[in-house]
Amino acid sequence: MNKNVLITGASSGIGLNFSHKFAESGHDVILVARSEGRLLTLSQELESKYGVKAHVFTSDLSKPQASKRLYDELKSQELQVDILINNAGFGLFGEFEETEMSKELDMIQVNITALTELSKYFGKEMVSRGDGQILNVASTAAFQPGPLMAVYYATKAYVLSFSEALANEWGPHGVKVAALCPGATKTGFSDAAELQSSKLFQSGVMSVDDVVEEGYKQMMTNNKTVIVPGLKNRILTQSIRFMPRKLITNIVRKVQERV
């Protein structure tokens, strides 16, 4: 049975690959991003290639009320969201006293506020129906503090904690909630966050194809709540549980520094 899958940040990176993955699997997709041109091109490609419906909604989720407007637009078109992929998000590199506050507030709005609002709006309907799935894109950054990307790491810690709590609350109501926690991944994210020259991204990254394949499989088939793609990333996130927090923070600082 075809389901409607809403994907934020659908025009590039992980969101773009999820759009192809769900369409290839026979699901209709609701594509959300800021770039109307990219979305229209993607919509035409998905409909032509996979024979599904691909709806386009342009929205800048860094703007207050954008999430509510998006929800209202979908309601007005009587589009039910069966699966929600909260993928939109971005990061920013630099010493906290030197980075731009406006960018960090936009980051909080997208990474936390919009994700929370969309989960609330569509999640309530899923609970009422007794069926639905939400995948929130977090990061391995969620498992520890992140000097030189302090706000970004903190936002992803919120996403992970929030997702695990909702999974517990809504599981008995037939709604599955999961957090996808990729490590360094080859997408446009690293360019936007000015990370290309950091030791983290110089030490090796996963392909976006591998991240999405793992996320899709664990979400749709294995019903996992916390999904960490890649053996190296899984070992990392488990090992830091046994290390002093101050030591972890110092290690992250060194890994984040530019080469």
Q: What is the per-residue pLDDT for 196?
A: 52
Task: Determine the average pLDDT of the residues in 116-135.
Answer: 98
Q: Is the pLDDT of residue 204 over 80?
A: no
Q: Which residue has the tokens 């992140």?
A: 146
161-197: buried (b, 16+ CB within 10 Å) or exposed (e) per residue?
A: ebbbebbeebeeeebbbbbbbbbbbbbebbeebebee
Q: What is the per-residue pLDDT for 192?
A: 52
Percentage with pLDDT > 70 across the chain: 92
In sequence order, the β-bridge partners of residue 206 are 185
Q: What is the pLDDT of residues 9-31, one digit of tens each?
A: 999 999 999 999 999 999 999 99
Query: What are the percentages of helix, strand and coil residues in the chain, rounded to 5?
Result: 55, 15, 30
Active site residues: 152, 156
**Mean pLDDT over each residue of the chain, to the nearest integer:** 92
Sorting pLDDT into bands at 50, 70 and 90, what band is 191?
Answer: low
Sorting pLDDT into bands at 50, 70 and 90, what band is 213?
Answer: very high
Task: Determine the average pLDDT of the residues in 91-114.
Answer: 97
Q: What is the per-residue pLDDT for 90?
A: 96
Least confident of 117-126, 161-170, 188-197, 234-243: 188-197
Task: Determine the average pLDDT of the residues in 110-117.
Answer: 98
d(CA 10, CA 15): 4
Which residues, 6+ apart, have CB-to-CB distance to 154 below 8 Å? 145, 146
Taken in order of first residue, the domains within the chain and their CATH numbers are 4-256 (3.40.50.720)
Sorting pLDDT into bands at 50, 70 and 90, what band is 146?
Answer: very high
pTM equals 0.91
